[in-house]
Amino acid sequence: MENKNLENTVGSHVTFKSFCNLLEKIIQIDETPQHARKTGKIEEKKNLVRKFIEYWRQTAKAHNLDDNFYPVMRLLLPHDDDRVYGLKETKLAKYLIEALCIGSKTEDALKLLNYRAPTKIKSEGDFAGTAFFILKNRCRDDLTLNMDEINHHLDQIAVSNAKGKDGQKQVNTSIKHLLLNLSAIQLKWLIRIIIKDLKIGIKETAILDAFHPDALDVYNFTSSIEKVCSMLNDPEKRYNELGVQVGSACRPMLGEKAKPNKIEELLGGRQFYIETKFDGERFQMHKIGNKFMYFSRNGYDYTETFGEDIHSGSLTPFIFSALSKEATNLILDGEMCAYNSKEKLLLSKGDDIDVKSARKYDSIQTCFCVFDILLFNDTVLTNRPLKERVEFIRKCCSEIEGRIQYSVQQKALSNQQVVDALNKAIDSRLEGIVVKDPESVYKPSQRGGGWYKVKPDYMAGLNDDLDLIVLGGYYGSGKRGGLISHFLVGLLVDQEGDDEVKKFCSLCKIGSGYTHKELLEYNYKLAEKWKKFEKKSAPVHLELGNEKPDLWIEPKDSIIVQVKAVEVNASEKYKPGCTLRFPRLEKFRPDKQWFECMKLSEFDELRNKNSGKLTNRHLDLADMDNELNFEEDGPSPSKRKRRIGNKMPKTTVASIYRGIDPMMVEKAGDLFQGKEFCISIEDDLKKKSALEQCVAELGGELVQNATKNTYCIIANRCTHRIKSYIKIGLYDVVKTEWLDKCLKHGRLCQWKPNDMIHSKPKTRQMFAKLYDSYGDSYTEDVSVDCLKEMFNSGSFVKEEFKPLMDLEFRLELRCKMAEFENKYFPDNSKYGLFRMCLFYFDCFTHVNVDLKTKNIGLELVELKARWHGGFVLSKIDANVTHCVVDKSDLTRLEKIKEINRKKNRKFRVVSSQWILDSIKAARLRDELSYVL
């Protein structure tokens, strides 16, 4: 029902019909001949917006109301409005059919549901236009709502949509109220607002300029339409001095694409910086006293994720100590990356990791890579040169490995140094490099200004080309209305028998890289071959993920296309569990037969070889004739240069990346006889090859893709490929440690819960009968090794606490334990005797210069100290309270004392006898008589 208690604002006095009339007048300008116009199209459209703003302000003045233009601006710029409705064309079509009582099998209903299909309607491919054509004789023209009512119901839809199923009833109520109380022309514009595409031929820059001459600058700083409208509400006042404000996000400065051989020319021969282009997500960190805020490049607030203070979030507790106490207020610009603490490296977007959820993954943590600073205390630094800003970064924070680090500025003068840095980035599987002018100032939201990004995927010939088959098609809209404008492409699935029906799996959707002429040509060639895709009767030869095409085609009638992309990303939309990032069509391949497309196994090998990247060749400065791609979707084909010379050789996979040949392995036993293994280790190919060799020698069979006969899948971590196997639910996924254990003991060890990455239902049922929730057997006596294994598995610690259990946490916990023992067991705390002692044991006996061995006696004392509550550190640091030395070996005593003299907080150097005597006496003995 309509809300009768809406606040009396100017929006309650302005109808949605008048706003729609403005939009209609704007699109009519495109149909007006040039000679009939006094000015250009954009200027005339801006004048119409200015007249509506004036009308809004006059209405506000007449009713003595606040004239804030935000209620209109969020409808005029729906793409910049932060409301998420969860409504797309198909769902809106169903609402229209239900609300207006259109028969579900009628021609009008089918036109709404299949609006992209070719029809005689002028607006084919445009859902809103199709809806208007169908509804114009079904809706009353005298219906309308005011602007406040429109925004109120859109707010209700957005809020209810965020609640999921619980809010669906309110979504239904609000959308039906709008559909039943607006005319056909108003519904057309409402639909475009919800879909966030008005199609009025005027960009946000022109609309903001029409509102206020400073509006674009303010929006670049704040990323908020609401702040633009509130700060610049008075058209007579200029926002002369824009300031960066802590707690208010501003749009980041961007890099301009550049050729490696043009850098010297662009920078006038001056010295420049080369930095790594981090493959993460752009974020700003704001610090206000002891409070933190984190904003994405689009101004979204992720403070709750990364932590408002030292006690919350996946990042703040770990970097708080790295920030200087002098930096009370701070804004840092950088890249939020995922860091693998075991392998000690930054991960890329190609890995199945969401940096905003990094703490959910084992050994993966959030790392903030800082490369610029905007504010230090009360000083705004955006107008300072980069070389000065870099010094401020070093002044305000220090590095913590895997948590916060600087971007290293490599000083350079030549194009060759740029090429060398790019080739090094290719070898390291990095996204690319960024070249910066040391004299450049920080310009929010602007591209260029002294920043240039150089990536291997911009350069023709550096990326691997993939020959993929067209499996499906999608109807286009706008200029491509009535055509099959996008294609679903995929791979040939490997099969054992030649007589079986060939199967294909989807990989990605492409819609760029070809000319309009090429599109028309292949639409004509394939016109009679397309078949409508029905979910209930999907073709058996197609293996699809969540992404379904509008049409499908028989493989024998299809075509091969040569596709280029940046890297491989995880995605459940496609069957392999991954897809291509920024795919673009290089060319159609009529010279290839339909069955000559790339196989799934070839694609997996290529992906594994390059760690997800599709670039593996170096750039040579002497060979820079190829054009750079200056569009993210690829270059215009009309401008693409033809390659000269011999055809590029087909990409092959080196032998180290293929499965081993069982025929070349000499059998050494039958431990794994009759069992088929799939060993999937993507990040350590040498270990994969070694394990395969051992399995083959002991009679086991090997496959590169699991089959129905596979005994188990061996893996070292849960990659996106493993997740796709887990989703199927037919396989046991076992850790590599289990296979190592079998090889060590020379027998097929029974699986235990701690051996598993994933267990299929049958295996889980077996575990439930034999083991408790901690992995402890009901029937077998626990051994020392088993106990260690259980504790090391971490099953006793909840997942959400694992990231917090660092050294600082454990030391604080020991203090609380000591307080508890002193309070409740003051006279009987034998096993908490050394609770407040932090030991370093000098356990190495130096036999000679080249040889050192463990001092077994001192090692035993160490165990006794730990048994009685002592905490042992592996090195001498600021926390050490006692350094324990064996009197029989004083070779390092002077060095230890020298270290102690340099420390602000001294530790005691005592003999091991102090620990033994204290245990014997059940109290801490006086240390002075044991000091060395």
Contacts of 347 (CB under 8 A, 6+ apart): 337, 338, 339, 340, 353, 364
Q: Per DSSP, what are the bridge partners of residue 847?
A: none
- H-state helical runs in 256-404: 263-266, 303-306, 316-319, 386-396
Max Cα distance, the chain (Å): 106
* Residue in the block written with tokens 């990536």: 455
* Residue in the block written with tokens 């180290």: 656
Three-state secondary-structure class, residue 424:
helix
Contact 338, 280 (CB under 8 A): yes
Run of H or E including 295:
strand 291-296
Dihedral sign, CA of 630, 635, 638, 639? Answer: positive
Run of H or E including 154:
helix 147-162
d(CA 908, CA 700): 58
Letter for the amino acid at 400? I
Rg (C-alpha) for the chain, rounded Å, is: 34
E-strand spans in 769-870?
Answer: 838-841, 844-848, 851-854
- Cα angle for residues 363, 366, 371 (degrees, 5° grid): 140
DSSP symbol at 650: P
Contact 316, 292 (CB under 8 A): yes
- Neighbour-count burial for 659-675, b at 16+ CB within 10 Å, e otherwise: bbeeeebeeeeebbeeb
Letter for the amino acid at 705? N
Dihedral sign, CA of 66, 71, 77, 79? Answer: positive
SS (H, E, C) 225-294: HHHHHHHCCCCCCCCCCCCCCCCCCCCCCEEEECCHHHHHHHCCCCCEEEEEECCCEEEEEEEECCEEEE
The catalytic position among 259, 277, 453, 564 is 277
d(CA 99, CA 89): 15
Contact 755, 737 (CB under 8 A): yes
d(CA 97, CA 104): 7
Letter for the amino acid at 782? V
Q: List Cα–Cα distances, 288 to 227, 740, 788, in angstroms.
A: 20, 51, 45
Letter for the amino acid at 284? Q
Count helices and strands (H / E) in the chain: 28, 33
Three-state secondary-structure class, residue 931:
strand
d(CA 520, CA 191): 30
Cα–Cα nearest to 725, from 564, 544, 560, 575: 575
Token pair of 530, please? 């397309």
Please say if 503 is a catalytic residue: no
* Residue in the block written with tokens 């293994």: 677
Cα–Cα nearest to 578, from 632, 505, 516, 627: 505
d(CA 519, CA 513): 10
Contact 336, 366 (CB under 8 A): yes
> Which residues participate in catalysis according to the annotation?
277
